[in-house]
């Protein structure tokens, strides 16, 4: 990261001085995905603008440094007055979007001094944030530097109103628009279709060992259920560990063929980049991480209209909570709860279909943030 920060000003030499640039900044990969629908909309509808994409964290930059939707991709250096002045002068954006929790005092001040409109996208505010504390008066000033804050919910708007910030629009979360884009661009994977056949299939995404211990035991006891599992850690030792715990024949995606998939009860996805397309082949899904640091993306599965199961560490994930409320998502705390839920899915088609429909409707009903944002942006 430090090396990348040092090279930023060299990278900015790529900026075409004869073109107007729109600057998007995301801390890391998750925030980038929230801003991506906006980038790609502008790219398609307003090709005359250049796109500058910056990251602070290597987790975003290293994955998306070759992103074709942007003309220039680089790190954003630390928020010092000198860095801000130099960066903004070289980038010379005509507009800027900071995604979610990005509140950079010096960069925002420099953009303001040059009359460059800055927008906060998909931001969300909670009363325990420093802006709303008695000692946070000076920090609140940074919020006044935005042309508009596009927030996810009404409670954020009400909190901001209490401290005098009123240039706020409730538009929802752009991640819903993003997963619908992914759904529309999903790949056909014929081998996975042949593997599934007519069998009920559970797709497990980003699993960790505590998730797998629950799931694999159930699969061994219910051989008619097919399993597609994409572990979070794809290493030889982890894949061999999964295989050793299963009684059925397993096939790895990268070495599968038409013959091997028909004979197998489990497919292990031993590569990256396919999971969001694989969910379409599931009758139900399980999202890993809920017995550890926290669950992964539940929306990528829910968009296909299949129920979503996850472990107990999901309280910080608003969409998981909403899926539970809408009866399209299900929290399990142990193997007994997982077994009972799976039995109900496999034995009651009406319950399975209603749960899946609720998950799909939740995503569809919450999309549209992109259109609301674009109505207020002047390009």
The CATH number given to whatever domain includes residue 15 is 3.40.50.11720
pTM: 0.84
Over residues 344-365, mean pLDDT: 98
Task: Tell me: do 217 and 342 sit in the same domain.
Answer: yes
What is the tens place of the pLDDT at every residue in 184-214?
Answer: 999 999 999 999 999 999 999 999 999 999 9
Structure confidence at residue 118 (pLDDT): 97
Domain containing 117 equals 2-182+369-376
Task: Tell me: do 162 and 261 sit in the same domain.
Answer: no
* d(C-alpha 221, C-alpha 245), whole Å: 12
Over residues 103-107, mean pLDDT: 94
* d(C-alpha 354, C-alpha 307), whole Å: 9
State how far Cα 345 lies from the chain centre: 27
Give the list of residues 6+ apart from residue 363 with CB closer than 8 angstroms, or none.
Answer: 176, 179, 180, 299, 302, 303
Over residues 139-163, mean pLDDT: 95
For 215, other C-beta atoms within 10 Å of its C-beta total 24
Structure confidence at residue 144 (pLDDT): 94
Angle at 206 between CA 268 and CA 228, to 5 degrees: 30
Number of structural domains found in the chain? 2
Which residue shows structure tokens 């538009």?
171
- Give the pLDDT band (50/70/90) at residue 6: confident
Structure confidence at residue 243 (pLDDT): 97
Percent of the chain with pLDDT over 70: 100
* d(C-alpha 130, C-alpha 143), whole Å: 12
Task: Tell me: do 248 and 297 sit in the same domain.
Answer: yes
Task: Tell me: do 20 and 159 sit in the same domain.
Answer: yes
Structure confidence at residue 273 (pLDDT): 86
3-state secondary structure of 188: coil
Over residues 73-93, mean pLDDT: 95
CB distance 75 to 8 below 8 Å: yes
Task: Tell me: do 139 and 207 sit in the same domain.
Answer: no
Half-sphere exposure of 185 (CA within 13 A, CB side): 11
Q: Give the CA radius of gyration of the chain.
A: 23
3-state secondary structure of 232: coil
Q: Is the pLDDT of residue 147 over 90?
A: yes
CA distances 229 to 213, 278, 286, 356, 379, Å, are: 13, 10, 9, 19, 44
Tokens at 229, concatenated:
């599992």
Structure confidence at residue 316 (pLDDT): 83
Structure confidence at residue 378 (pLDDT): 85
Structure confidence at residue 374 (pLDDT): 95
Nearest Cα to 213, choosing from 191, 238, 237?
Answer: 238
What is the tens place of the pLDDT at every residue in 33-68?
Answer: 999 999 999 999 999 999 999 999 888 899 899 999
Task: Tell me: do 205 and 134 sit in the same domain.
Answer: no
* d(C-alpha 134, C-alpha 141), whole Å: 14
Nearest Cα to 32, choosing from 55, 4, 65?
Answer: 55
Task: Tell me: do 203 and 341 sit in the same domain.
Answer: yes
Q: Is the pLDDT of residue 303 over 80?
A: yes
Q: Is the pLDDT of residue 24 over 80?
A: yes
* d(C-alpha 98, C-alpha 107), whole Å: 11
Query: 185-207: b or e for each residue (b if 16 or more CB lie within 10 Å)?
Result: ebeebeebeebbeeebbbbbbbb
* d(C-alpha 362, C-alpha 301), whole Å: 12
Task: Tell me: do 80 and 145 sit in the same domain.
Answer: yes
Task: Tell me: do 288 and 353 sit in the same domain.
Answer: yes
* Strand ranges, E, within 258-312: 266-268, 284-287, 308-310
Structure confidence at residue 133 (pLDDT): 92
Please state whether 164 falls in left (phi above 0), alpha (psi between -120 and 50) or beta: left
Over residues 276-302, mean pLDDT: 96
Half-sphere exposure of 238 (CA within 13 A, CB side): 17
Q: Is the pLDDT of residue 5 over 80?
A: no
3-state secondary structure of 227: strand
Burial of 231 (0-12, 13-18, 19+ CB in 10 A): buried
* d(C-alpha 33, C-alpha 51), whole Å: 15
State how far Cα 333 lies from the chain centre: 24
What is the tens place of the pLDDT at every residue in 209-243?
Answer: 999 999 999 999 999 999 999 999 999 999 999 99
Task: Tell me: do 336 and 252 sit in the same domain.
Answer: yes
Structure confidence at residue 7 (pLDDT): 87
The CATH number given to whatever domain includes residue 210 is 3.40.50.2000
Task: Tell me: do 141 and 33 sit in the same domain.
Answer: yes
Structure confidence at residue 123 (pLDDT): 94
CB distance 323 to 179 below 8 Å: no
Please state whether 368 falls in left (phi above 0), alpha (psi between -120 and 50) or beta: left
State how far Cα 366 lies from the chain centre: 15
Over residues 352-364, mean pLDDT: 98
Task: Tell me: do 8 and 151 sit in the same domain.
Answer: yes
Q: Is the pLDDT of residue 26 over 80?
A: yes
Percent of the chain with pLDDT over 90: 89
- Beta-strand pair 266-268/250-252: parallel
Structure confidence at residue 275 (pLDDT): 94
- Give the pLDDT band (50/70/90) at residue 4: confident
Helical residues (DSSP H) of 114-247, grouped into ranges: 137-140, 154-162, 174-184, 190-196, 209-221, 236-245
């Amino acid at each position: 990261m430090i090396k990348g920060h040092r090279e930023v000003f060299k990278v900015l030499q790529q900026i075409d001085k004869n073109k107007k640039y729109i600057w998007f900044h995301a801390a890391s990969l998750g925030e980038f995905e929230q801003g991506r629908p906006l980038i790609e909309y502008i790219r398609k509808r307003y090709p005359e603008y250049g796109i500058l994409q910056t990251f602070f964290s290597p987790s975003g930059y290293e994955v998306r440094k070759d992103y074709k939707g942007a003309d220039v991709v680089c790190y954003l250096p630390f928020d010092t007055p000198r860095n801000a002045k130099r960066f903004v002068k070289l980038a010379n954006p005509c507009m800027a979007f900071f995604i979610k929790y990005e509140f950079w005092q010096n960069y925002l001040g420099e953009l303001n001094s040059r009359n460059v409109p800055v927008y906060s996208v998909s931001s969300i505010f909670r009363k325990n944030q420093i802006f709303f504390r008695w000692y946070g008066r000076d920090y609140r000033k940074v919020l006044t530097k935005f042309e508009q804050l596009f927030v996810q919910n009404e409670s954020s708007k009400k909190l901001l109103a209490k401290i005098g910030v009123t240039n706020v629009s409730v538009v929802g979360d752009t991640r819903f628009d993003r997963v619908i884009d992914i759904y529309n661009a999903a790949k056909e994977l014929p081998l996975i279709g042949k593997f599934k056949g007519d069998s009920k299939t559970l797709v497990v995404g980003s699993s960790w060992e505590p998730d797998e211990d629950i799931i694999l035991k159930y699969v061994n006891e219910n051989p008619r259920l097919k399993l597609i599992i994409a572990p979070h850690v794809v290493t030889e030792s982890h894949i061999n560990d999964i295989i050793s715990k299963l009684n059925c024949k397993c096939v790895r995606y990268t070495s599968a063929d038409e013959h091997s998939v028909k004979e197998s009860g489990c497919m292990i996805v031993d590569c990256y980049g396919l999971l969001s397309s694989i969910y379409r082949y599931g009758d139900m899904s399980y999202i890993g991480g809920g017995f550890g640091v926290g669950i992964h993306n539940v929306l990528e599965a829910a968009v296909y209209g299949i129920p979503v199961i996850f472990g107990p560490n999901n309280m910080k994930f608003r969409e998981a909570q909403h899926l539970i409320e809408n009866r399209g998502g299900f929290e399990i705390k142990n193997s007994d709860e997982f077994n009972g839920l799976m039995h109900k899915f496999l034995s009651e088609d009406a319950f399975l279909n209603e749960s899946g429909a609720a998950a799909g409707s939740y995503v569809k009903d919450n999309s549209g943030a992109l259109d609301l944002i674009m109505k207020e942006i002047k390009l």
